[in-house]
Amino acid sequence: MAAPKKPFHPELVAWLAANAQMRRDSADRHGLKASTANSRAIWIRAVQNELGIDDPRSITWDDYDRFTLAKSDAGQPLRGASYDNLRRAFASWIPYVQDELMAPARATDGPKLCPLLLEWKKHLRRVGSLTSFRGAEVPKTCGEAAAQRKARDVQRCMELAGKTNPKKITQADVLDFLDVVEEVRQISHSAYDDKLRSVRQFAQWAKITDPTAGVERRGKADGFGEMPMQAVASEFEITSLILAAQDDANADDPELRGLGAMIEIILVAMADCALRVSEAIQLDGSPDKLRTYVDRDGYDVFEVCVAWAKGSDGTPVWKRVNPELYERLRRHGCPLTPPSWRKRPNGGNISGYWHIRAWAASKGVPRFGTHSFRRAAAVRRFREPGANLLDVADLLGHADPHTTWTYLAPMRGSQTGRPGSYYSQLTARHAVKVSMP
């Protein structure tokens, strides 16, 4: 006889009730479907039971790492949809807890906004707020959830200061508010900046002196060359994952062998050729998808055609690769990944992205950031003699050097836009042809 299911913690019940209330109240049906919300609550309950956590409000992303590793150690690694659903459950639950912990009451509809903030919230939904975009201030409208969050940030800043009019908020009030937020719940740099941005946008709308002026932000700045370095994979992490993929490619299990061969090529394409994960998954060794020629500087150029890439408007794009990867694809002679990996369900991430993350989680890297490999390729090129920012922008396929600078913020140096072969030469072994399902 199966053991009876444990009831949801009251906090999870309140979360489900708040979501149901949001679905009823919002004209655009904002919020999760009841079945989806219930499924995510079940995942949070599973994490509680596995890790022995009494209060789900104390769950953090560190518990996400612990849970996935515990499942791997128990011989039950999370793969595919299970891995994706767990990640979405955490992505829904943790912001809710961080947003509600400071509320004066735990009502399902959240704290009541003052009339002025309600008016501002409606303005955000209809007109939007001025947002910095490539050096210009452009209006951007907000969804129901974002507008509510911004209004709540200002409301809580006002309440903590003991005031009844949000126009009376001062810089000292903002700093006290941020200190309390960090004391109650550790937040990311982007969440810290989001709260600053909420107060600043309200000040713009209310035509009052900006109380956030002079408060240092922790994430990206608006000006060119002021952005801090984004997450870059270390050489140890890149090498470890590539060698793990090579071990799988040499395994006795044919399915594991094919998976390891695919993922190794994808990792090398990102770490050496600075391809996005969506582009690396589309690599194809068919003769009509490969070409080579000599450029005007006398260098051999090796390119692979991908069906679509970011900013290409759905048209095929030729991407430069190194000679080693080109030769492996030529020997392969067909698409690298099965068709199911190249789909984009609901316009989101390409499906193969989640397969790669699930594989990395099984190797002890539960929160693998695929884009960190691309950044590592850019940083390594930038450090080599003879390059400049435009060369790296060409390697990355960026039309705007401002975008490239987010990868390389505090650095100075140079390099050409040719893909490297650093990780391709880890071992000299032949590619394993992947059997299509």
Per-residue pLDDT tens over the stretch 21-33:
666 655 444 566 7
Q: What would the pLDDT profile of 195-222 be if each residue is shown by its tens digit?
A: 888 898 899 888 898 888 888 777 644 4
Q: Say whether both 141 and 75 belong to one domain.
A: no
Q: Say whether both 27 and 89 belong to one domain.
A: yes
Nearest-10 Cα torsion for 401, 406, 407, 413: 60
Q: What is the CATH number of the domain that holds 130?
A: 1.10.150
Say which amino acid occupies 142.
C
Q: Give the number of other Cβ atoms within 10 Å of residue 178's Cβ.
A: 18
Mean pLDDT of 11-30: 64
**Range of 28-42, 98-112, 187-201 with top mean pLDDT:** 187-201
- Which of residues 378 and 75 earns the better pLDDT score? 378
What is the distance of C-alpha 152 from the center of its chain? 25
50-58 — which CB contacts under 8 Å span 24+ positions?
A: 55/9, 55/11, 56/9, 56/11, 56/12, 56/93, 56/97, 57/11, 57/97, 57/101
Determine the Cα–Cα distance for residues 227 and 409; give it in Å rounded to an integer: 5
Tell me the three state secondary structure of residue 133.
Answer: strand
Determine the Cα–Cα distance for residues 117 and 122; give it in Å rounded to an integer: 9
CA-to-CA separations, 66 to 8, 62, 72, 240, in angstroms, rounded:
21, 6, 10, 20
Looking at residue 2, what is its pLDDT? 43
Q: Say whether both 390 and 278 belong to one domain.
A: yes
314: buried, middle or exposed (CB in 10 Å: 19+, 13-18, 0-12)?
Answer: exposed
Q: How many residues does the chain have?
A: 437
Task: List, in sequence order, the alpha helices (H) in 26-112.
Answer: 34-51, 61-73, 80-100
Lookup result for tokens 């692979």: 304
Q: How much of the chain is helix, strand and coil, in % rounded to 5?
A: 55, 5, 40
Lookup result for tokens 């399915």: 255
Band (88; pLDDT cuts 50, 70, 90): confident
Q: Say whether both 77 and 201 belong to one domain.
A: no
Q: Output the six-digit token pair for 229.
A: 């370095």
Band (416; pLDDT cuts 50, 70, 90): very low
Domain of 47, in residue numbers: 10-100
Q: Say whether both 59 and 140 belong to one domain.
A: no
Tell me the three state secondary structure of residue 279.
Answer: helix
Q: Say whether both 134 and 250 belong to one domain.
A: no
Measuring CA to CA, which residue among 139, 243, 115 is closest to residue 201? 139
pLDDT of 133 above 60: no
130: β partners: 139
Residue 110 maps to a domain: no
The values of phi and psi at residue 138, to 5°, are -125, 145
291: β partners: 303
Q: Say whether both 351 and 261 belong to one domain.
A: yes
Q: Say whether both 278 and 178 belong to one domain.
A: no
Q: Say whether both 29 and 132 belong to one domain.
A: no
19: β partners: none
What's the number of domains the chain is made of? Answer: 3
Q: Output the six-digit token pair for 2.
A: 């199966």
Q: Which of 53, 76, 100 is the last residue of a domain?
A: 100
Tell me the three state secondary structure of residue 106.
Answer: coil
Q: Which of 100, 130, 147 is the last residue of a domain?
A: 100
Q: Say whether both 140 and 276 belong to one domain.
A: no
Question: Looking at 118-122, 167-171, 249-253, 386-390, which range is the least confident one?
Answer: 386-390
